[in-house]
Amino acid sequence: MTSLRLEKPYEKYAWILLFLAGVPTLLGALPHLLGIDPDPAPEETIIGMTLSELKASNPRFFDFYVFYTRLLGVFFLGFALPVIAISVTGYRRGEKWAWYAFWYLPAWFMVNAAVLLTTGRSPSFPAVLTFILSLLGLLLPYRKFFPKKQPQR
């Protein structure tokens, strides 16, 4: 005889934290898709000039930069939409594959932070928020995904 385990509210609603982890990335994708870089400082530091100076001195390379920015928006969109979709489906239902798959989020943050630190920058607030929300969303419902085994009688 097995007894049904009653979910605690923080286990039942942890999927919302992962859903919210995808939202900043989705919102960040929008300006990039339009070819607008909301924070061009890292690129300006690397190339040693402002974007307006780059546009004036090398319009073709500036066009490539805008292409890259739009491509980054596609990446952000391709990252955010599955996070949002999986959080409201498989993760919400307590499917283990979704729990394992979502460990990609904190791993992504750590790699993102390491790359940024090599350029002398620190992670953005949305990236830190994604990290915190994903860790909470993964750790709080741990018993939902891996309940304790009941002793056999």
Tell me the pLDDT tens digit for each residue of 29-80.
999 999 999 989 888 888 899 999 999 999 999 999 999 999 999 999 999 9
Higher pLDDT pick, 9 / 121: 9
Per-residue pLDDT tens over the stretch 101-137: 999 999 988 998 998 888 788 888 878 888 998 999 9
| Confidence class for position 3, pLDDT limits 50, 70, 90 | low
DSSP three-state, residue 33:
helix
Model-level pTM?
0.81
Higher pLDDT pick, 130 / 140: 140
Residue 150 lies in a domain: no
How far is 139 from 23, CA to CA, in rounded Å?
20
Structure tokens at 43: 């690129």
Residue 130 lies in a domain: yes
Residue 153 lies in a domain: no
Task: Name the DSSP letter for residue 49.
Answer: S
Task: Give the contacts of 93 (CB within 8 A, at least 6 positions apart).
Answer: none
Residue 13 lies in a domain: yes
| Number of domains composing the chain | 1
